[in-house]
C-alpha cells in the first residue's frame, strides 16, 4: 500500500510544486536510492526490466530513483528535466495478470528515462501499456499481483493516470491531488484509451444504461476497502486543503509521517488496520506492509529540491536533501538480509527497537529529528549559493550516521511488553527472516 500527493502553485507558500510519496512494501524489503546516469544506446538495443526485455531508446535521461532492491523499476523518482512520478497498486474486478511482464514500477522508470514532461510520460506509459500490458509478481515475501495508478508532475502541471490491464484514463490535477490504492477517476477525464468503454462492455462490467464511471466500473471492493485506500487518500487531501496558500516542504514531511487518531497516544503495536499514511507492519494478513521509503520534491523556477529518507518509517527517519548532480548517493546496495554496511538495514535495527517502546522515546526523538531537518533546510539554502553540494552531502551523512548511532545506543535496552503477543510474534518472525538481531 502507498500514498502519493502533489501540491500545485496555488496552494504552496512560494508558488512551487511539491510532491510527496510513501512506498509501502514488505517489512524486510529494503529500498535503495540511487542515481542512474543518462546514456546513449546503439540501434537495436534492448533494456532488461524486472521480468522482460523490450527495445531500448537511443538516449535515456539521468534519473534519481527510490526502488525495492530486487526490482529494476522504481516506486518513485525524478529526472533531469524535473519530471517526478510515483505509482500505486490498485485493485480491479479485472484480475491482474500473473504472467511475467512489465510491472508498474518498470513503467515508472521507463517514463522517467524517456520523457521530459508529464504529458510525454503519460504517452510513454500508455503506448507501452497498450503494447505489452502489465503483469507479474510484485510481492517480495509472498506473491502479489495488481494494476497501477500514477501521479505525474513536471514544472508546470500534474496528472493522475489510472490503468486496468491495457486500458487507462488520465485527468489533469487542479490545485492539489492525492492517490492511494484505489481508482479515483469517475465520469470525467482528459485523456483515455480508445477502447475504454468497449473493454468494460466486453467484460460485462458496463451495460451503457448509466453514465460511464471509470472507478465504479472497474474497482474491486474487497482489496480497496481493507487497504483503507480512500481513508488514507482523504487524510493527505484534507491536510493539504487546510494549508491552502501556505504549504511548504516541511508540511510534506509531516503528512508522510501521519498516523491515525491522537498522535500523542499512537503506538504501532496497537494499530489494527492499514489505516496510516506512515504505515507500520504488524500481524497479518492485513498489516504485512510498512513504509520502506519516502520522497519529497519541490520544483520552483526550474530548480528541484529532492528529499528522501532512504530508510523505512518516515516518523522515525530524517529527510535528507539530495541532488541529481551527485555521482553516487550510497556506497552500498542493501542486501535482502541484514547487512551492517547498509544504511537502510542499520536504521532498521533502530526502527525495530523503537517499535518495542515507541511512546517511551518518540517525543524526544521527534524533537531532535525536526531540529536536524531544520538545519538541513538552512544548509541547503547556503549550499545553493556556494554550489558545493558534494561537500554538503558528506556533512549530511556524517550527521545522519551520528544521529543514528546515538539512538541505537539509547534504544538498545528497549522492551516490548506493552505490545500484543500477536504483534510481538509477527516481528520476531520478521527479524528471524532478515537475520537481524536487536
Residues catalogued as catalytic: 2
Block residue for cell numbers 492499514: 274
What is the bridge-based pairing of β-strands 84-90 and 191-192? Answer: unpaired
Contact assessment for residue 75 and residue 88, using Cβ atoms and an 8 Å cutoff = no
Rounded Cα distance, 34 and 331, in Å: 10
Q: For residue 359, what are the contacts with CB-CB under 8 A and spacing of at least 6?
A: 265, 267, 418
All 3 cell numbers of residue 98? 500473473
Write the CA distances from 359 to 125, 366, 402, 418, 427, integer angstroms: 44, 11, 22, 10, 18
* Contact by Cβ (8 Å): 182, 214: no
Alpha carbon separation from 3 to 13, 272, 283 (Å, rounded)? 22, 18, 21
Q: CB-based contacts of 374: which residues, under 8 Å, 6+ apart? A: none
Residue indicated by cell numbers 503477543:
421
Question: What whole-number distance in Å separates Cα of residue 393 and Cα of residue 194?
Answer: 47
Q: Across-strand partners of 71?
A: none
Q: How far apart are CA 107 and CA 110, in angstroms?
A: 5
What are the backbone dihedrals phi and psi of residue 360, each rounded to the nearest 5 degrees, phi first? -65, -40
Kindly report each contact of residues 249-254 with a partner whose C-beta sits within 8 Å and lies 24 or more positions away, as own/partner. 249/18, 249/296, 249/298, 249/305, 249/307, 249/377, 250/373, 250/377, 251/18, 252/5, 252/7, 252/18, 252/19, 252/20, 252/296, 253/20, 253/296, 253/307, 253/314, 253/319, 253/373
Can you read off the three cell numbers belonging to residue 74? Answer: 522504481
The whole-angstrom separation of Cα 243 and Cα 261 is: 20
**What stretch of H or E contains 377?**
helix 358-386
Q: Give CA torsion, residues 258, 260, 261, 263, to 10 deg.
A: -30
Amino acid at each position: 500500500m502507498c500514498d502519493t500527493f502533489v501540491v500545485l502553485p496555488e496552494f504552496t507558500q512560494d508558488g512551487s510544486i511539491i510532491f510527496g510519496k510513501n512506498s509501502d512494501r514488505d517489512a524486510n524489503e529494503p529500498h535503495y536510492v540511487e542515481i542512474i546516469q543518462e546514456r546513449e544506446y546503439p540501434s537495436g538495443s534492448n533494456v532488461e526490466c524486472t521480468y522482460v526485455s523490450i527495445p531500448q531508446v537511443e538516449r535515456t535521461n539521468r534519473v534519481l530513483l527510490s526502488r525495492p532492491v530486487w526490482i529494476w523499476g522504481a516506486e518513485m523518482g525524478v529526472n533531469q528535466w524535473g519530471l517526478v512520478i510515483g505509482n500505486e497498486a490498485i485493485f480491479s474486478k479485472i484480475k491482474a495478470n500473473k504472467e511475467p511482464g512489465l510491472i508498474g514500477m518498470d513503467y515508472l522508470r521507463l517514463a522517467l528515462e524517456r520523457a521530459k514532461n508529464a504529458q510525454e510520460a503519460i504517452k510513454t506509459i500508455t503506448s507501452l501499456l497498450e503494447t505489452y500490458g502489465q503483469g507479474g509478481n510484485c510481492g517480495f515475501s509472498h506473491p502479489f499481483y495488481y494494476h497501477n495508478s500514477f501521479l505525474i508532475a513536471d514544472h508546470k502541471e500534474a496528472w493522475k493516470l489510472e490503468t486496468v490491464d491495457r486500458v487507462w484514463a488520465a485527468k489533469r490535477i487542479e490545485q492539489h491531488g492525492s492517490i492511494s490504492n484505489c481508482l479515483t477517476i469517475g465520469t470525467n477525464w482528459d485523456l483515455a484509451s480508445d477502447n475504454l468503454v468497449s473493454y468494460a462492455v466486453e467484460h460485462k462490467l458496463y451495460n451503457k444504461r448509466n453514465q460511464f464511471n471509470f472507478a465504479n466500473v472497474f474497482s474491486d471492493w474487497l482489496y480497496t476497502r481493507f487497504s483503507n485506500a480512500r481513508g488514507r487518500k482523504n487524510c493527505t487531501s484534507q491536510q493539504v486543503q487546510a494549508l491552502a496558500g501556505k504549504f511548504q516542504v516541511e508540511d510534506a514531511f509531516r503528512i508522510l509521517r501521519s498516523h491515525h487518531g491522537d498522535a500523542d497516544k499512537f503506538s504501532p503495536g496497537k494499530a489494527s488496520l492499514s489505516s496510516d499514511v506512515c504505515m507500520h507492519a504488524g500481524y497479518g494478513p492485513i498489516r504485512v506492509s510498512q513504509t520502506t521509503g519516502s520522497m519529497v520534491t519541490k520544483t520552483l523556477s526550474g530548480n528541484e529540491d529532492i528529499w528522501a529518507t532512504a530508510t523505512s518509517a518516515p516518523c522515525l527517519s530524517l529527510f535528507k536533501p539530495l541532488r541529481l548532480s551527485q555521482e553516487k548517493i550510497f556506497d552500498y546496495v542493501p542486501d535482502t538480509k541484514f547487512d551492517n554496511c547498509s544504511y537502510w538495514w542499520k536504521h532498521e535495527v533502530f526502527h525495530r527497537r523503537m517499535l518495542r517502546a515507541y511512546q517511551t522515546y518518540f517525543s524526544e526523538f521527534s524533537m531532535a529529528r525536526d531540529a536536524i531537518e531544520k538545519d538541513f533546510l538552512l544548509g541547503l539554502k547556503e549550499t545553493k549559493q556556494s554550489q558545493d553540494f558534494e561537500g554538503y552531502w558528506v556533512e549530511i551523512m556524517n550527521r545522519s550516521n551520528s544521529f543514528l548511532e546515538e539512538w541505537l545506543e539509547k534504544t538498545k535496552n528497549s522492551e516490548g511488553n506493552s505490545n500484543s503477543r500477536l504483534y510481538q510474534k509477527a516481528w520476531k518472525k520478521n527479524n528471524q527472516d532478515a537475520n537481524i538481531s536487536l
